Amino acid sequence: DTAVSQTPKYLVTQMGNDKSIKCEQNLGHDTMYWYKQDSKKFLKIMFSYNNKELIINETVPNRFSPKSPDKAHLNLHINSLELGDSAVYFCASRSAGTGELFFGEGSRLTVL
């Protein structure tokens, strides 16, 4: 039973398109994140939501818009995709007790 699940796992699209990545966690955690792993392999925080409210928004272009319909879901919508958006995007949720992050399997986005 997958704790943090993301869909799709792979996404290939053209520049200028709009796409979404969905994330769901069944761990009952209040806080969820989106991280981006770029070609240099850095895992960088993008957004953090706590109980459906945005609490961290790193310097991410406003083409990226997270949406949290409820605390178990944090979706990422990207408008006007650019080549530089190609990366693996990881969703994660955090245990309030231990501070440990639980990651999804990642969604590899390729922009052509």
Partner 1 sequence: DQQVKQNSPSLSVQEGRISILNCDYTNSMFDYFLWYKKYPAEGPTFLISISSIKDKNEDGRFTVFLNKSAKHLSLHIVPSQPGDSAVYFCAASRQAGTALIFGKGTTLSVSS
Residues binding partner 1 (CB under 8 A): 4, 31, 33, 35, 40-45, 48, 56, 90, 92, 94, 96, 98-106
Kindly tell me which of 3 and 15 has the beta carbon lying closer to partner 1. 3
- Tell me phi and psi for residue 85, to 5 degrees: -80, -10
CA distance 23 to 40: 24
Q: 23: helix, coil or strand?
A: strand
Least separation in angstroms between residue 110's CB and partner 1 is: 14
Least separation in angstroms between residue 80's CB and partner 1 is: 26
Least separation in angstroms between residue 16's CB and partner 1 is: 28
Kindly tell me which of 9 and 18 has the beta carbon lying closer to partner 1. 9
Specify the DSSP class assigned to residue 65. Answer: E
Least separation in angstroms between residue 102's CB and partner 1 is: 7
Kindly tell me which of 57 and 65 has the beta carbon lying closer to partner 1. 57
Phi-psi label, residue 30: left if phi above 0, alpha if psi -120 to 50, beta otherwise? alpha
Kindly tell me which of 66 and 104 has the beta carbon lying closer to partner 1. 104
The position carrying tokens 């770029």 is: 38
CA distance 39 to 111: 13
